[in-house]
A and B are shown apart, each in its own frame.
Chain A
């Protein structure tokens, strides 16, 4: 076979040299990306190249879904229609109440100049795929820079918070899931109004609340929702439910929570706009301004 003939002629650098060159290059990339995150442009360019493949990977499924929708029987449609109609009526009634509350809330908040739970603009996106690497809990969605997505937006589904947009590329963007390791969300226990922070522990694992005393007033079944004090997550979005409280474990209670959003299942996500910006931090030459915002991905 031609490809197995010995090489009499020059073929460029030896394999070992190439290995060293490319291995060093990879390591440099790893360090540059992880420690200094200075490769955004490179990533953007490659992601544009990759977009046709990403699109192609999801296209057949979309086509099947559309085909299914097209072939739905009329009886089903009617039943569904009626059901939706009823649901809409209920929602209308709720909405009216909500409108009143919202106006009142806006007014009250306007009084205190706090912007935490203002209604925000939002954008619907579809999940393209879920990265296959078990080390990172990320979703790739089909809206990017071109459609006005920007880093820091919050992704929610119909049940609760899913995560946060951490990296935006021209046509796609990456959503870091709640369960991603060390992803922190400031939350409030609904029952007791206690504020705390919930941490991600890795893909497809539960969330955990750290550093609470063993006698803390928290029970299995307690709901957690965002407290809004970080200025990134709007207040009042459901996040997780407490599923296990172990008070014997260490000198701290071990509290495990399950995300309410179906983090690995949904197809559509709503991206909420980032907050309108907080008042500028008072500039003081003497005090170094502390970083108040939580870590936003790596």
Chain B
């Protein structure tokens, strides 16, 4: 069920920060290199998720900061992830009211589009810096991210859902 049709408990900022920390943690796991392209970018998913569900709190600035942190973690050129996340957060915000009422499978498609766009930006930056294109497999992780979107949303919402009380 989409987020807006339910009465949810308010979410604390600590919880949001915790989810970002966990996403970063997953992105930094040492096996990331062996599964390389198949691992979805969890930080990007979290950025889209929270911008969608808490647009008052999480927005472009947060996305930018997380992007910088990812760049340092990866040893990349600074600003690559930052730009991608910023644009993703903006596009999410601009259609937030619409997307937030979509069912999860449609949101997953939107997320797929956004993540792909973000990665395209990163590819463009790298091409501009003189690197080679790394092949289409680079985008495979996004498909996986889209598949994981609904379970992830349910998992995140389980924290906010009220326990069902049967009142007669």
Write the residues of chain A forming the contact surface with B, with a CB cutoff of 8 angstroms: 1-4, 7, 11, 15-16, 18-19, 22-23, 25-30, 32-34, 39, 42-43, 46-47, 49-50, 53-54, 56-58, 61, 127-136, 138, 140, 167, 174, 181, 201-204, 264, 298
Write the residues of chain B forming the contact surface with A, with a CB cutoff of 8 angstroms: 3-4, 8, 10, 21, 24-25, 27-30, 32-34, 36-37, 39, 41, 53-57, 59-61, 63-64, 67-69, 72-80, 82-83, 86-87, 90, 93-94, 97, 100, 122, 125-126, 129, 131-132, 134, 138
* Assembly CA distance A121 to B71 (angstroms): 32
B117 CB to nearest A CB, Å? 13
| Pair A22/B64 contact, Cβ less than 8 Å | yes
B122: chain A residues at CB < 8 Å are 133, 135
A199 CB to nearest B CB, Å? 12
17 additional A-B pairs beyond A22-B60, A50-B72, A135-B126, beta carbons within 8 Å, are A3-B55, A15-B93, A19-B90, A25-B64, A26-B83, A27-B79, A30-B78, A30-B80, A39-B78, A43-B78, A46-B68, A53-B25, A127-B30, A129-B33, A130-B30, A136-B76, A264-B33
Closest A residue to B138 using CB positions: A134
* Assembly CA distance A204 to B36 (angstroms): 10
| Pair B76/A15 contact, Cβ less than 8 Å | no
A264: chain B residues at CB < 8 Å are 33-34
A56: chain B residues at CB < 8 Å are 25
The main secondary structure of chain A at its interface with chain B is: helix
Residue picked from B10, B29, B30, B86, most chain A C-beta under 10 Å:
B30
Q: CB < 8 Å: which of B33, B54, B60 contacts A130? A: B33
A46: chain B residues at CB < 8 Å are 68-69, 72
* Assembly CA distance A132 to B60 (angstroms): 23
